[in-house]
């Protein structure tokens, strides 16, 4: 497996026919120069199949995959996919620790924090009862695992962890709008770090859990916060 | 919505995923929707420039907030700070958890933490007119 073969290219199949080495990507990237980062160089290295040099460098992980480079590319080379493919080829023990640890906890427990389901329920109900103390929200409750709801609301783990105060914004909107919503009592994780780590199999597991929940509870729409 | 609740100029930041990347992957960039929402909630807002398809990433996307490369995140974010300064805004609004964390950290690093960072849905929640339950 090489990056060149793995990363789907467009509009033709050979990147060697595409890159003019014009440097538009490097000129427009705010990160060019940091730790020797240079999108044009990375594309050229992928063309030459110098994959290991890319994989062993910090470049795949300092790039935010924002896509500004490929937006500027006159030839439409999918540079973000080159980066993400390289991430996926990094040995899992060399993936940034926080990312990999979150993934492992997510696979094991259903959320990247490794928070037990009963603790999750406690935090949510605690914050919900505080909201119910506010005028106009007296009847507010968080509906867990509601069958047939219109909207499934998954949560970014940081709201359940250190930023509890940011849980209530959507809840207020739902309450005032009369939305028929629900949150999962498990597998509530609303970020997919398999996407970030370049691991498609992990990504599919996390997506699959949400799909399964929606099918089981016959929920019509998904609201995914990330 | 009560448009008098938030005073002063608000700056809107386009997250990569809602804009440029959504446009590329799904054929629709969510550029106008958040702007329509801002029109309903605040009286004065501007876009950070350049915006929409050519906007600058905050520097914290793609999982980079979970990496140890803090210095590179701040290098990436210099453009964002420059844009915020130029906008002369008293608040930054955005609809992304990663951008929220990164821009807050950038403002702190640049001694600009008098400028609050709010989620777009937080602005909606804060300006709702709530009737008796």
* Contact across the interface for A67 and B16, Cβ inside 8 Å: yes
Residue spans of chain A under pLDDT 70: 8-17
CB contacts < 8 A (A, B)? 126
Task: Report the percent of chain A where pLDDT is more than 90.
Answer: 85
Interacting residues of A128 by C-beta distance below 8 A, sequence separation 6+: A140, A141, A142, A171
The mean pLDDT of B110-131, rounded to a whole number, is 97
**pLDDT at A199 (0 to 100):** 97
**pLDDT at A8 (0 to 100):** 65
Measure the CA–CA gap between A52 and B10, rounded to whole angstroms.
45
* Contact across the interface for B128 and A156, Cβ inside 8 Å: no
**pLDDT at B33 (0 to 100):** 98
Report helix, strand or coil for B11: strand
Instruction: Give yes or no for a contact between B99 and B65, defined as CB atoms under 8 angstroms apart.
Output: no
Euclidean distance between the first and the last CA atom of chain A, given in angstroms as a whole number: 30
Measure the CA–CA gap between B26 and B20, rounded to whole angstroms.
10
**pLDDT at A47 (0 to 100):** 86
Predicted-assembly ipTM surpassing the 0.90 threshold: yes
CA distance A42 to chain B (A): 17
Q: Could you count the other beta carbons within 10 Å of the beta carbon of residue A218?
A: 10
Measure the CA–CA gap between A180 and A23, rounded to whole angstroms.
50
**pLDDT at A5 (0 to 100):** 78
**pLDDT at A89 (0 to 100):** 97
Report helix, strand or coil for B10: strand
Among chain B residues, CA nearest to A30: B76
**pLDDT at A142 (0 to 100):** 98
**pLDDT at B97 (0 to 100):** 96
Angle at A64 between CA B25 and CA A112, to 5 degrees: 90
Average pLDDT, chain B: 97
State how far the alpha carbon of A37 is from the alpha carbons of A52, A64, A104, in Å.
Answer: 15, 12, 29
Report helix, strand or coil for A135: coil
**pLDDT at A225 (0 to 100):** 78
Q: Torsion angle, CA of A54/A59/A61/A66, rounded to 10 degrees?
A: -110
* Contact across the interface for B76 and A30, Cβ inside 8 Å: yes
Alpha helices in A114-164 (DSSP H): 117-131, 157-161
Query: What are chain A's domains?
Result: 3-90 (1.10.1060.10), 97-223 (no CATH)
**Element of type H or E holding A82:** helix A79-89
Where are the domains positioned within chain B? 10-127
Instruction: Give yes or no for a contact between B17 and A80, defined as CB atoms under 8 angstroms apart.
Output: no
* Contact across the interface for A193 and B66, Cβ inside 8 Å: yes
Q: What is the pLDDT of residues B29-61, one digit of tens each?
A: 999 999 999 999 999 999 999 999 999 999 999
* Contact across the interface for A170 and B121, Cβ inside 8 Å: yes
Measure the CA–CA gap between B63 and A197, rounded to whole angstroms.
8
Q: Which of B56, B60, B66, B122 to mutate to test the interface with A (most CBs of A within 10 A)?
A: B66
**pLDDT at A7 (0 to 100):** 78
Q: Torsion angle, CA of A167/B106/B87/B21, rounded to 10 degrees?
A: -70
């Amino acid at each position: 497996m090489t990056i060149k073969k793995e990363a789907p290219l467009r509009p033709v199949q050979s990147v060697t026919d595409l890159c003019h080495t014009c440097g538009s990507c490097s000129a427009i990237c705010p990160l060019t120069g940091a730790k020797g980062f240079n999108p044009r160089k990375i594309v050229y290295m992928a063309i030459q199949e110098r994959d290991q040099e890319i994989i062993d460098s910090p470049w795949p992980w300092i790039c935010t995959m924002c896509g500004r480079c490929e937006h500027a590319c006159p030839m439409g080379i999918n540079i973000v996919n080159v980066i993400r493919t390289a991430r996926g080829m990094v040995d899992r023990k060399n993936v940034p620790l926080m990312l990999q640890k979150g993934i492992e906890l997510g696979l094991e427990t259903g959320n990247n924090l490794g928070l037990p389901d009963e603790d999750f329920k406690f935090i949510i109900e605690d914050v919900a009862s505080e909201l119910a103390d506010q005028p106009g929200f007296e009847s507010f409750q968080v509906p867990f695992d509601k069958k047939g709801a219109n909207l499934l609301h998954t949560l970014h783990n940081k709201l359940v962890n250190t930023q509890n105060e940011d849980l209530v914004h959507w809840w207020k909107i739902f309450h005032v709008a009369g939305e028929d919503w629900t949150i999962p009592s498990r597998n509530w994780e609303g970020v997919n770090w398999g996407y970030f780590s370049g691991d498609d199999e992990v990504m599919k597991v996390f997506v699959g859990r949400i799909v399964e929940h929606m099918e089981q509870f016959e929920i019509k729409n998904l609201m995914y916060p990330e | 919505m009560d448009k008098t609740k938030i005073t002063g100029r608000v700056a809107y930041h386009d997250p990569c995923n809602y804009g440029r990347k959504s446009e590329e992957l799904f054929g629709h960039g969510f550029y106008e929707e958040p702007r329509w929402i801002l029109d309903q909630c605040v009286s004065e807002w501007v876009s950070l420039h350049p915006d929409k398809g050519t906007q600058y990433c905050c520097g914290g996307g793609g999982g980079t907030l979970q990496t140890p490369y803090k210095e590179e995140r701040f290098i990436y974010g210099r453009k964002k700070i420059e844009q915020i300064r130029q906008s002369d805004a008293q608040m930054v609004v955005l609809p992304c958890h990663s951008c929220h964390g990164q821009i807050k950290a950038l403002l702190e690093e640049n001694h600009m933490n008098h400028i609050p960072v709010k989620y777009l849905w937080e602005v909606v929640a804060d300006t709702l007119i709530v009737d008796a339950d």
